[in-house]
Amino acid sequence: MKKLVYLVSAALLLCGMLTGLCACGNDNQSGTNDNTGDQETGKVLRVGMECGYAPYNWTQNDDSNGAVPIVDSTNYANGYDVMMAKYLADELGYELQIHKIDWDSLPVAVQSGTIDCVIAGQSITAERLQTVDFTVPYYYASIIAVTRDNTPYANATSVAELAGAKCTSQLNTVWYDVMLPQIENANIQPAMESAPLMLVALDSGSVDLIVTDQPTAMAAKLVYPNFVLLDMAEDQDFEASQEDINIGISVKKGNTELLDKLNEALAPMTEQDFTDMMNQAIAIQPLTNE
């Protein structure tokens, strides 16, 4: 869901969100993170993500809290996806590399073999399963509507009460493609290219409503205290399938060796483990210090 209860300047504030766990790799002489890993044995886990979708993943300019270097960059990555990538790499005994890749380019990168897997808050949808394979879920993300405290929708308790809302969400997500059309007479605006831009659109008044997942909304609330996370009764919420809320790790179609290893490493983890890790990711964002 991209994946109901995860900026500097509004757009970059979330893109640049901030701090995480365990640095791997070294800076090369040009000042970028080479992070070539253990190339001789091939034990390198190359993980792709946006590095701009907090609290799942974000970019920061130092290794505070053990953030992981981004390959071919002077910056570092952190967030829930980075935490999970570190856990999995440790379990597999692999060196970890984080590759910063635009959202729409992630499927192509994993299909081409540029990276080994994508850990980026991707929903396990039937459409995506046509081109990549997914692990079991590594997070379950509930879907939520967010508005400002000065809109007519601030006290909404059901999707029905969002009728006519001027709204948007992120491009190529179930939030935009599946959830927004469920709002009666919705005035759906063009999709935003990233989660930070989606949040900026809401804060600026360009739209009155966005749909996202609970972690993203909770992280945004730290920066935008005027945001209201709409808590709706279960039977009055958006209609979502399991594929809308189950978030998985994608690998190249047919790469059963890596898929099996990742699933084996994920097997001992519980939903509470996922929740605890996500709460940690949300908590370590120094957004309020920006």
Residue 73 burial (CB < 10 Å; 0-12/13-18/19+)? middle
What is residue 239's three-state secondary structure?
A: coil
- Report domain 142-241's class: alpha beta
pLDDT digits (tens, 9 = 90+) for 253-266: 999 999 999 999 99
State the DSSP string of 16-41. T----S---S-B-TTSSB----STTT
Nearest to 103 by CA among 126, 87, 81: 81
Domain ranges for the chain, please list them. 10-139+243-285, 142-241
**Whether 175 contacts 239, CB under 8 Å:** no
pLDDT digits (tens, 9 = 90+) for 46-81: 999 999 888 999 999 999 888 999 999 999 999 999
C-alpha 177/C-alpha 123 separation (Å) is: 13
Residue linked to tokens 């399991």 = 242
pLDDT digits (tens, 9 = 90+) for 207-226: 999 999 999 999 899 889 99
What is the pLDDT, as a whole number, of residue 32?
A: 60
Residue 171, CB-side half-sphere exposure with 13 Å CA sphere: 11
pLDDT digits (tens, 9 = 90+) for 165-202: 999 999 989 999 999 999 999 999 999 998 889 999 99
What is the pLDDT, as a whole number, of residue 197?
A: 94
C-alpha 35/C-alpha 37 separation (Å) is: 6
Distances in Å between the Cα of 266 and the Cα atoms of 19, 70, 273, 280 are 23, 24, 10, 18
The CATH number that domain 10-139+243-285 falls under is: 3.40.190.10
Give the residue with greater pLDDT, 100 vs 39.
Answer: 100
What is the pLDDT, as a whole number, of residue 259?
A: 98
Minimum mean pLDDT range among 1-5, 101-105, 141-145, 283-287: 1-5
What is the pLDDT, as a whole number, of residue 8?
A: 35
Average pLDDT on 142-147 reads: 94
What is the pLDDT, as a whole number, of residue 6?
A: 37
Please calculate the CA angle 55-18-209 and round it to the nearest 5 degrees. 40
What is the pLDDT, as a whole number, of residue 66?
A: 82
Task: Tell me, yes or no, if the two domains 10-139+243-285 and 142-241 fold the same way.
Answer: yes
What is the pLDDT, as a whole number, of residue 287?
A: 55
